[in-house]
Amino acid sequence: MNKIAQIFESLDYGPAPEGPQPALDWLDSHGKTFGHYIDGQWTKPGKTFSSDNPATGASLAQITDGTAEDVDAAVKAARAAFPLWSALSGYERGKYLYAIARLIQKHARLFAVLESLDNGKPIRESRDVDIPLVARHFYHHAGWAQHLSRAFPDHVPYGVCGQIIPWNFPLLMLAWKIAPALAAGNTVILKPAEFTSLTALLFAEICDRAGLPKGVVNIVTGEGGTGQAITGHPGIDKIAFTGSTEVGKAIRAATAGTGKGLSLELGGKSPYIVFEDADIDSAIEGLVDAIWFNQGQVCCAGSRLLVQESIEERFITKLKLRMSTLRVGDPLDKSVDIGALVAQVQVTRVKDMLKAGAKEGAVIYEPDMDLPAKGCFLKPALVTNVSPANTLVTEEIFGPVLVAMSFRTPEEAVQLANNTKYGLAATIWSENINLALDIAPKIKAGVVWINGTNQFDAAVGFGGYKESGYGREGGKEGLAAYLKPAWEKDLKPAPAAKIAPAKAANPLDNGHVDQTAKMYIGGKQARPDSGYSRPVHSATGALIGEVGDGNRKDIRNAVEAARAALGWSTTAAHSRAQILYFLAENLDYRREEFAARIKAQTGEDGAAEVALSVERLFAFAGWADKYDGAVHNPPQRTVAIAMVEPIGVIGIVAPPSRPLLGSIALIAPALAMGNPVVLVPSDRSPLSVTDLYQVIETSDVPHGVINIVTGDSITLAKTLAEHDGVDGLWFAGSAEASAMVERASISNLKQTWTSRGLYYDLADRRFEGDYFLSKATQVKNVWVPYGA
């Protein structure tokens, strides 16, 4: 039998090697030693470390380890370039982005080979996925640059952006970061991962060839200390980070109180849900792409297989058969499915995690296959016999390891899928589109793929919920992350409060029966757990009432009540609007009473503030069914439905001024978007809000949707910030307290808004629109295929 006949008999793939020489020649042209790219020039190499080929262990080049001085030089270059770059018309900036896209396409093969050499991923993936998407991002954002002023009126770029990217998609992550930043008018300092800096350095040459003005893009290589120098530099206005949740939390802590913009795209433990009516063969092919694409080194990898019990045995049997056909080997071989992990330290980490999982009872299956004699290679692994608490189920492995569990009902599938601290992506396989679209909104993840997986496009936002970070990359929302309202730069410090000396220091001196206003938790009036009350004084210092002095247990009770009311998010937007209208109507009926209460506390006429509060409730009642999503048309035969979803439980600490409006202006947008709230009213003038629960009780507000805890604002804000049951926190207060809140929020990476001691005039009409609506929501993109 001839060789061709033998091939058709066995269907075995022969080797199809890609030549590495052009990439090696490019490295040779730099003497295989690189400095940084700062202000349009290459710096002299400093202290270097080796960038190695993970498939062979051979050194590819020496990379300079950036110092604080290097970062400072890059920041100065970016700062100097910012005025001219941001002043260019969007059309002019777009032309540069277009030129970069064209040059990337022209040198696509060189980029693909260099990426596979440096990272270890199969050439098929870098050639057919990564590099085309890189070009797509620059093309897409070239268009955004020109239409920026129409889509984002009265917005301006942050300024100088520090960007830190991981090693799993070196060039693609660069494009995700740099393209929107430049389109918005920012300048950047980008630090590639120490393991995979080479394509970023090649990109620097592309910027040079495109004629990009000096200092607009700066590439500073280095290890962890270089990244710390970037996040801690006072001359950087925004940080964008993709990487581990652990490092993301450290960056959140480092930037707390600085006022820097921050977007984090972090780890994941994404569920891959297969229902009994799914096309099993298609689902298995999708699963191969979900978990063994890029050796499983993907933040959104479908690493948790949830398969319906009725098909579990058949599915696992077929999956093992498919695993036996996967080819592990030289990343430059076009017939290879799984390449090398990025470094030996990653191989060791994955092996150690497998050992830990096995000790907890996991059964690990690996197909019988040979691995290359050298290099950072692992076999694909399937883990079964695990509980939801097993280490391999709960922790991100970041390797070619799939963990499988079964479920019986769709409700159980949702519970298992959401049983994780992460929330980056999910996949649903079912031939019943009604079932798939019922499950998708219930999954707490930023991206959901139906009957497909690992679909990305520049027009569709990508990012996570919970400890997978916040902010989006790609799409309109990704561009918004590099812009801020123009008026924010003109904010002034909040004026110091005028507090009259208290005249009644001893509460026993009050000659009246107890008038302590209670808290409002779970739809009921509640006494403070502490058993203590706080006096409330008028502008002249006279005692006019008392409120409960809330503590940690009161906050715990309020958060539990709010979480029990999370069904508010699934209440029809029209119904939420009607309840807000009802609140406004009932408040308006009692406007004279509330105006008098404001005057008693502040000495100022309260009529205007009550009127503004009623108007603000009306405004957000109107927004409840109008602030919605979009349908994107990526190049694939799919639509991506951008669903605007609530954050979850939002803690709100109102400003000390404007006793009524200060609270209403913040809770109204949160409620309109479906978030239950725990409100801490002004600790100086809380009686306007404790009076409000009488209005709440007569306005059909479901129990637990609004919870009111009175007490010391800073103490209660810290408790809310530390509480893992709180998904977002808005705090109006001093710069020092704002920094404390941001630092304390890192336990579950809750989304925060703080006033940082600046004066936000909540009476301004700019706050009755999307400023707070955007902070009360996050976007989930659901990818739905179409066509036969």
Q: Which residue numbers are catalytic?
A: 265, 299
* Helix (H), strand (E) at residue 161: strand 160-164
* Helix (H), strand (E) at residue 200: helix 198-209
**Closest C-alpha to 383, from 408, 358, 407, 359:** 358
Between CA 259 and CA 465 the distance in angstroms is 22
Tokens of 535: 């006096």
647's CB contacts (< 8 A; 6+ apart) are: 673, 675, 727, 728, 751, 775, 776, 777, 778
Please give the torsion angle defined by the CA atoms of residues 168, 453, 474 and 269, in that order, rounded to the nearest 10 degrees.
-60
Between CA 701 and CA 584 the distance in angstroms is 12
Please give the torsion angle defined by the CA atoms of residues 168, 174, 180 and 186, in that order, rounded to the nearest 10 degrees.
140
Question: 722-757 b/e with 16+ CB inside 10 Å = b?
Answer: bbebbbbbbbbbbbebbbbbbbbbbebbbbbbbbbb
- Which alpha helices (DSSP H) does 53-197 contain, by range? 68-87, 90-106, 108-119, 123-125, 131-151, 170-183
Contact 319, 406 (CB under 8 A): no
* Residue 552 falls in which region: left (phi positive, over 0), alpha (psi -120 to 50) or beta: alpha
- Which alpha helices (DSSP H) does 278-422 contain, by range? 280-292, 312-323, 344-359, 391-394, 410-418
Instruction: Characterize the bridge pairing of strands 48-52 and 533-537.
Output: unpaired
Backbone angles phi, psi at 90, to 5 degrees: -60, -35
Burial bucket for residue 377 (CB in 10 Å: 0-12, 13-18, 19+): buried
**Residue 164 β-bridge partners:** 191, 241
Residue 645, SS3 per DSSP: strand
Burial bucket for residue 455 (CB in 10 Å: 0-12, 13-18, 19+): buried
**Residue 679 β-bridge partners:** 652, 708
Contact 108, 126 (CB under 8 A): no
Contact 353, 144 (CB under 8 A): no
How many residues does the structure list for the chain? 788
